[in-house]
Chain A
């Protein structure tokens, strides 16, 4: 019997594998339509059972279910590359990466046993935790960090709908992969040289592969 949470979990893993194609330089050099075709074929291949399990299941075995934040960022990356449009500006990316990085640096050590306090417990329906998140989402909305607001709100909604196997809200907000990505992006951003007006530098391109594709794509 396949549960809904298995389908959503496998779909998330398939999305991650498909989006990871955008990191490959040869793929970046393809036309948008070819990239779209390649990603579609890849999605079908990784979702199709090979032996007893689809390829996506092997990735899911290792990384678990991806957070809604990761889903949103992957969808934006794919959309950017296939449409040539950028739905999210640089300021939004810096805000979400910074928020994820700081949260992860505090959250994971405590949740993995560094001390008696376990912040992961807050994710089991604490109304106080939800209130703090609501304040954060509304605050981000007020200063036009809409990506932050959307990621938080979708995570809370997906948790309420039991979208994944996990019953803990943290697993919808954050996962180790997006945390590593955000930390790398923040560190890369901190180390980079000043960006010339209207231009982008090497470190920024590395941290934001979807932009790389756009800037290096053949006409």
Chain B
């Protein structure tokens, strides 16, 4: 090498070293700002017992679109409840939007509002092509905003999903431009939401997510106050668990329940637990709760009991139950069957009988429905095939409001969103009932 070549080489080496030092200097400064692990913040809603037992049901959606699915709820500052769900001509269609409606206190009915998210709006905000929208979940963040997370797909099926986020400072009347959460290293593919987000004590947010591309497993994202992903933790691995729901018993103890997506009987809800605020989670195991590869939802009561809504059967989704546990999710007792068409035992109904049954169910579900036969026909469009018709009551989402009331929404025959509202007195009545069926 010539003298001048050596000089250039020496200068290059110094320059590379300077780049290394500057790069890692910036990196370590950022690393020092890393948030320490938080602890859970169990909801401290007191036992609003007393009063008369109260239980009522109604429909949230009004049949504006042929198909509706995957509802979620969030409580607003004035005590109203806002629901979100996706709706369109069919699941995965380009016209699917995230719909929303508000249930004001004392009003006794739902006010439907313009969509919270659309494909075109999301595409514009994200500067990306968006093929379809999916599951929405909402939460009130520590800063008082409502954060809405929803599934978006640019390429392929649900396995190609990513999570998109938008926020609202006015309880959901208006929304900021959407932004993408990056949660996997492989083209950011295959992250979906379904389970209820929750707060840690330091104001960061836990967002249960799941993957269903190569594996089927649950994870937990942790987001800071700006909505940036600051940590991610695996709850399970393999190909058999989806849609985690985290139920915090104390600041350190929690369990996560997951939909069983495996094929090996017995088909049971997958359960993991932690005693150290989620730093470590136990090995996934099958719980005693049956699960037909369907979503579930739950809350923890002030006294530590757990209340879960799920399809407590091993196949089909024609039965939806409320179950409770007094021992941290080890054993469960069925409190109430919200829907029960299990007498069919998976056999399809002929169309005429289906319409008759669905009409009766619609009438029982909502006394304000003027034409239950129309609801039955709409359900029939979704639920009838050549071989016959079936029922589906699925994707429950359960919250407890600050006044102690419980609100549950779920997909009713893929065509409507049904709302169930009950109070602590009603729940206490169910809990105190002597039932013949043994605990699970």
Contact = CB atoms under 8 A, between A and B. Distances in A.
Contacts of A65: 182
A166 B29 CA distance: 18
B349 interface: no
Nearest to A148: B16
B128 A60 contact: yes
Nearest to A153: B23
Interface in B1-44: 12-13, 16-17, 19-20, 22-24, 26-34
Contacts of B19: 149-150, 153-154, 157
B282 to A, nearest CB: 11
B155 interface: yes
Interface in A103-137: 107-108, 111-118, 120-121, 123-127, 130, 133-134, 137
A1 interface: yes
B16 A141 contact: yes
Interface stretch (A3-11, A22-30, A208-216): A3-11
Contacts of A141: 13, 16-17, 20
Interface in B107-136: 120, 123-130
A153 B128 CA distance: 29
Most-contacted residue by chain A among B28, B125, B213 (CB, 10 A): B28
Contacts, number: 162
A61 B24 contact: no
A62 B24 CA distance: 30
A168 B123 contact: no
A168 B185 contact: yes
A116 B186 contact: no
Contacts of B126: 6
Contacts of B177: 1
Contacts of A123: 185
Given A53-B123, A60-B127, A112 B184 contact: yes
B150 to A, nearest CB: 16
Contacts of A130: 24, 27-28, 31
Given A124-B229, A157-B27, A9 B182 contact: no
Contacts of A3: 179
Interface in A76-107: 107
A157 B23 contact: yes
Interface string A178-190: 0000000000000
Contact of B179 (A62, A165, A174): A165
Contacts of B129: 53, 57-58, 61
B185 A170 contact: yes
Nearest to B153: A61
Contacts of A144: 13
B23 A112 contact: no
A121 B402 CA distance: 35
Interface residues of A, number: 63
Given A125-B34, A174-B185, A114 B231 contact: no
A52 B123 contact: yes
B436 to A, nearest CB: 41
Contact of A160 (B26, B123, B130, B186): B26
A156 B23 contact: yes
A114 B215 contact: yes
A53 B128 contact: yes
B214 interface: yes
A152 B32 CA distance: 19
Interface of A: 1-3, 6, 9-10, 52-53, 57-58, 60-65, 107-108, 111-118, 120-121, 123-127, 130, 133-134, 137-138, 141, 144, 146, 149-150, 152-157, 159-161, 164-171, 174-176
28 contacts: A3-B179, A53-B129, A60-B128, A61-B155, A62-B155, A64-B187, A112-B184, A113-B215, A118-B219, A120-B184, A121-B234, A124-B34, A124-B229, A125-B31, A126-B31, A146-B16, A150-B19, A152-B23, A153-B23, A153-B24, A157-B19, A160-B23, A160-B30, A166-B182, A167-B182, A168-B182, A168-B185, A168-B229
